[in-house]
A and B are shown apart, each in its own frame.
Chain A
């Protein structure tokens, strides 16, 4: 039996609901197409060259009201757009607009030619954040924001290439790799997970999926083939189940809760996304990973509709 429970990170401030609503509406225009906040997978060429703009979907008046609600003077807050490279330790502030000033544009163009190339030239992707931020120290009051840098509301857009390794693309499992990993001959697949997985921003940086080299070569010949699709789906199920179990065990070993991981941590996002997709509480998902791995695998199979893929495969053959 699964006991349903929910948790959410509570920020220790009051009066932020309008700011949160405003930033839930913010979108990123990529070559004029509107995208909601979150992870955005694009063709590699688009990651490198697309025209980018922030559609704020708000007004200066509404931003000022959000500040008033939070107890922040209008001249102490700024609407900030900043970005950071995925691979290199480099960030850049694109815009910091004091919200007591006029001339706030509803759409904010990001000129990649003049912005930091170490950020927007990163072919592995970048992240753009938009936030309403307290800009200077305010008097301390209970439940009121006072520290500079504190955000009242924000939205984040993680831009990644489709061909990215975040898709956990399998690598060849050949004799050399089998020997290195201490695997026996005939091993068909292996998932290697780094033990610092709870510290990684990008989960895929710590996960390597291996598939028998002959099978992988056959798969790559025609990825749309029914058998190829079924193998890929099965591998995805195995990978996701293994990662979930590993995260659950690491959290337990380190005596941590999911909430203890920052929202930037890939393991945190992974568990919450899988839990939401599977309509189950994150804590229950982790519990399955610890105590009922067979149920976890079934849950992930259901998420991928594996029965459907196998049925199609059987009918086709």
Chain B
């Protein structure tokens, strides 16, 4: 199996040239890693379909951050379904994510996170991509939804919009290794019980709980019990 990759260095160089409006800039070419068949070729048309969908939708959406988030949410489940079919070794290679970012998601990233967004949005801030990398965070959003439902046709949890919630309180924190706790948080958020003023303190309390409790083994009822207790405590502290 072989697949295209883009190194951190060459991607940084390209982004830098792009931002300096260099006329010579070319997107970094994918360097093949491994040998044999190339699984990505199977899914290239589907990846292009995602970018087409974005191109069509962006005119209607304009600059609305809410609508942008909704579109990212909707495309997350599609991207997960497409990428789930390729080998895990590709999905756990940061240079492969940089290739995807550069080849299919570069313009989308600029549109989504802003023209002057951080290198992390492209997966180009450090050797290992993190959850600020747009296609990587979209894939993991779909993955969490899939882990909750265990049904590839039922990824509706990925469609729950909430840029800050997903970024700061689900994807970047270890809580998201627990499908039941992720589900409990998303349910409460969707029900309007986790507004910004509350969710930050609740997230801190959950982190403290994790010191003694293994969230990964909890069922939904048990996760809900912990979450509801921490929400109630936070609301009491905020005198609500």
For window 134-167 of A, CB contacts with B under 8 Å fall at 135, 137, 147-151, 154, 165
A-chain residues with CB within 8 Å of residue B176 when the two chains form the complex: 89
Contact with B214, one of A82, A85, A169, A208 (Cβ below 8 angstroms): A82
From B127, which residue of chain A is reached at the shortest CB distance?
A165
Is B128 positioned at the interface, with any CB of A under 8 Å from its CB?
A: yes
Which residues on the A side are within 8 Å of B215 (C-beta)? 149
Q: Are B12 and A177 in contact (CB under 8 A)?
A: yes
B25 to chain A, nearest CB (A): 12
List which B211-226 residues lie within 8 A (CB) of chain A.
211-218, 222, 226
A199 touches B217 (CB 8 A): no
**How far is A283 from B133 in the complex, measured between Cα atoms in Å?**
34
B222–A121 contact, CB under 8 A? no
- Contact A171-B9, Cβ < 8 Å, known A165-B128, A262-B210, A262-B211: yes
Kindly identify which residue among B92, B125, B207, B213 contacts A124, using a CB–CB cutoff of 8 Å.
Answer: B92
Assess whether B128 is in contact with A204, with CB atoms less than 8 Å apart. yes
* A124 CA / B130 CA spacing, docked (Å): 13
Q: Does A212 contact B (CB under 8 A)?
A: no
Nearest B residue to A85, CB-CB: B92
Is B8 an interface position by the 8 A CB rule?
A: yes
Bound-complex Cα distance A262 to B211 (A)? 7
Contact B178 A91 (CB under 8 A): yes
Which of B60-68, B101-109, B140-148, B192-200 participates in binding chain A?
B140-148
For A201, list chain B residues within 8 Å (CB).
174
The 0/1 profile, CB within 8 Å of B marked 1, for residues 59-100 of chain A is 000000000000000000000101011111111010010000
Q: Please tell me if A111 contacts chain B, counting CB pairs below 8 Å.
A: no
Q: Who on chain B is nearest to A201 by CB?
A: B174
Query: Residue A48 at the B interface, CB < 8 A?
Result: yes
Also in contact, A84 and B92, with CB within 8 A (given A96-B217, A171-B8): no
What chain B residues lie within 8 Å of A172 (beta carbons)?
Answer: 9
Docked complex Cα distance between A228 and B12 (Å): 26
Cα–Cα distance between A159 and B127 once the two chains are bound (Å) = 18
A89 touches B171 (CB 8 A): yes
A311 in the interface, Cβ–Cβ < 8 Å?
Answer: no
Residue of A nearest to B182 (CB): A89
Which of B13, B93, B177 is in CB contact (< 8 Å) with A123?
B93
Q: A207: nearest residue on chain B (CB-CB)?
A: B126
In the complex the two chains form, is A93's CB within 8 Å of B128's CB? no
8 A Cβ contacts from B60-97 to A: 87-89, 91-94
B16 interface residue, CB < 8 Å from A? yes
Q: Is B42 an interface residue (CB 8 A)?
A: no
Tell me, yes or no, whether B172 is within 8 Å of chain A by CB. yes
Could you mark each residue 6-21 of chain A with 1 if its beta carbon is under 8 Å from any beta carbon of chain B, else 0? 0001011100000000
Chief secondary structure at chain B's binding surface: helix
The reply to whether B143 and A88 contact each other, CB–CB distance below 8 Å, is: yes
Chain B neighbourhood of A208, CB < 8 A = 125-127
Q: Which residues of the other chain, B, contact A263 by a CB distance below 8 angstroms? A: 211
Q: Beyond A124-B128, A208-B126, A263-B211, is A180–B12 a contact (Cβ under 8 Å)?
A: yes
Q: Select B87's contact among A90, A121, A206, beta carbons within 8 Å.
A: A121
Question: Which one of B8, B12, B120, B211 contacts A9 once the chains associate, using CB atoms below 8 Å?
Answer: B211
A199, B173: Cα distance in complex, Å: 8
Q: Which residues of A contact B144 (CB under 8 A)?
A: 89
Give the CA-CA distance A177 to B217 in the complex, in Å.
45
- Chain B residues with CB under 8 Å of A199's CB are 172-173
Residue of B nearest to A145 (CB): B212
Query: Shortest beta-carbon distance, B168 to chain A, in Å?
Result: 9
A84 to B178, CA, bound (A): 10
Output the nearest chain A residue to B119 by Cβ-Cβ distance. A180
CA distance A144 to B172 in the complex (A): 32
Listed residue (A13, A204, A262) with the most chain B CB atoms within 10 angstroms of its CB: A262
**Contact: B126 with A194, CB < 8 Å?**
yes
**Could you write out 18 A-B pairs with CB less than 8 Å apart?**
A48-B89, A80-B214, A82-B214, A84-B177, A87-B94, A88-B140, A90-B143, A91-B178, A93-B217, A129-B214, A147-B212, A147-B213, A149-B214, A149-B218, A194-B125, A194-B126, A207-B126, A262-B207
Using a CB–CB cutoff of 8 Å, the interface residues on chain A facing chain B are: 9, 11-13, 48, 80, 82, 84-91, 93, 96, 117-118, 121-124, 129, 131, 133, 135, 137, 147-151, 154, 165, 169, 171-172, 176-177, 179-180, 194, 199, 201-202, 204-208, 262-264
Given contacts A150-B212, A176-B12, A208-B126, 4 further A-B contacts (CB under 8 A): A87-B92, A117-B88, A122-B88, A206-B126
Task: Please name the 3 residue pairs, one residue from A and one from B, whose CB atoms are nearest each other, closest first.
Answer: A121-B88, A165-B127, A149-B213
